[in-house]
């Protein structure tokens, strides 16, 4: 974890180069949960920044898909399981 901001319900994390089989370097992910004022729900904003090896430049879409399917989607599903349908 790089930073935690309880007041703004956010945090930043990083992981090592090529962790979990992802072909990325300098990965940094930022997440924030924003309350939706008309209901007991939250909007989760999650972004990732990373570098790829030059050999992967042609496979940009493939690397983005790997990050989406290997990190972001499972992470959002875990949040939903933990906090239920109010997320």
pLDDT, tens digit (0-9, with 9 covering 90-100), for 20-47:
888 889 999 999 988 888 887 888 899 9
Q: Specify the pLDDT at position 30.
A: 94
Domain boundaries, the chain: 3-86
pLDDT tier, 87 (very low <50, low <70, confident <90, very high otherwise): very low
C-alpha pair distances (Å), 57 with each of 3, 4, 72: 29, 32, 21
Rounded distance between C-alpha atoms, residue 32 and residue 19, angstroms = 23
Q: Specify the pLDDT at position 55.
A: 66
């Amino acid at each position: 974890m790089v930073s935690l901001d309880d007041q703004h319900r956010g945090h930043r994390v990083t992981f090592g180069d090529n962790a979990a089989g992802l072909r990325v370097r300098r990965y940094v992910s930022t997440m924030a949960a924003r309350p939706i004022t008309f209901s007991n729900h939250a909007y989760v904003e999650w972004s990732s920044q990373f570098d790829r090896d030059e050999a992967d430049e042609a496979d940009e879409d493939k690397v983005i898909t790997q990050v989406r399917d290997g990190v972001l989607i499972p992470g959002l599903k875990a949040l939903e399981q933990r906090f239920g349908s109010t997320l």
